[in-house]
């Protein structure tokens, strides 16, 4: 393993070089904000369109995660699922992944949403190699990624968190240290389980009102000023044309895909089962999204509204 000193960036800047792996709807704007802040950035993604976008913004494009990390002191990843995180960092054999190529002292920040057990497995392997690992899933959606106002929920050591915080502050507005390795993932899935419940319930309530003659915007305004007030009503209404600049008013395109919400709800259920915790509302939300994603997996998760009225998709 390479043991060169990584405390100073090779370009002489006080800011470390960063490798960003995973340039999807969330990762690409996060990476762009790092470029705007003056960080040297190398990127990797399977999508040529995504890498070209970052190259035009000033990033160096690499043909593999290892090539992207070759001159980086910090690695950030935003990947779809635990199997992808495992593959990148540990490799197919568990010993031939990216971790084995990184210098001691490298800081790894994984912002994917995965099972806490998977995060702890990678963190343990990193620690044995002298690499600092943080699980740092995010909340705030693509809008927050673009605006640099994400919430980061971080699990890992206090020292690693202190090193990561200035970098995370470029991409996020609220940065929480949830606890040790895996804590970020547990907090994130608790939040997204509640979000799935709230979205399904809000869609159900609006549908009830509309089917009984109420205007969806009037009803939404009433509930916003009443005890049913919640985040989905405030900033992410699921009924078309009630609110501007949200996926429901754009054919449910963009935003947070339903299949990703289903993934997070299943992670919550898995964690609940592993720890013998009863989550009947979470289980029901997972059931609803599982049925919904059969035909609407790539639509925003607010499209659960279509369960009650399929015409909203037209």
Mind telling me the catalytic residues?
Answer: 188
* Structure tokens given for 47: 């999508």
Query: Helix crossing, 27-36 with 158-171: angle to 10°?
Result: 90
From the list 75, 24, 19, 21, the residue with the least C-alpha distance to 42 is 19
């Amino acid at each position: 393993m390479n043991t060169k000193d990584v405390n100073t960036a090779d370009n002489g800047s006080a800011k470390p070089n960063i490798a960003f792996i995973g340039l999807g709807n969330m990762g690409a704007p996060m990476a762009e904000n790092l470029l705007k802040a003056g960080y040297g950035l190398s990127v990797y993604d399977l999508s040529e369109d995504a890498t070209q976008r970052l190259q035009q913004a000033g990033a160096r494009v690499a043909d593999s995660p290892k090539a992207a990390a070759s001159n980086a002191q910090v690695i950030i990843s935003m990947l779809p699922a635990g199997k992808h995180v495992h593959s990148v960092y540990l490799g197919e054999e568990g010993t031939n992944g990216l971790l084995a190529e990184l210098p001691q002292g490298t800081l790894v920040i994984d912002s994917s949403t995965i099972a806490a057990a998977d995060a702890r497995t990678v963190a343990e392997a990193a620690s044995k190699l002298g690499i600092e690992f943080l699980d740092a899933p995010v909340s705030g959606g693509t809008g927050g990624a673009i605006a640099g106002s994400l919430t980061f929920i971080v699990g890992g050591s206090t020292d690693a968190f202190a090193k990561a915080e200035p970098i995370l502050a470029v991409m996020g507005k609220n940065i929480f240290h949830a606890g040790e390795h895996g804590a970020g993932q547990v907090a994130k899935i608790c939040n997204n389980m509640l979000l799935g419940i709230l979205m399904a319930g809000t869609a159900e309530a609006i549908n009830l009102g509309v089917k009984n003659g109420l205007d969806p915007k009037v009803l939404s305004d009433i509930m916003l000023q009443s005890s049913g007030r919640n985040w989905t009503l405030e900033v992410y209404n699921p009924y078309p044309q009630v609110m501007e600049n949200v996926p429901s008013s754009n054919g449910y395109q963009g935003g947070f895909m339903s299949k990703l919400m289903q993934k997070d709800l299943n992670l919550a259920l898995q964690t609940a089962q592993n720890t013998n915790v009863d989550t009947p509302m979470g289980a029901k939300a997972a059931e609803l999204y599982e049925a919904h994603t059969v035909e609407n997996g790539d639509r925003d998760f607010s499209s659960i509204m279509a369960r009650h009225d399929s015409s909203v998709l037209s």
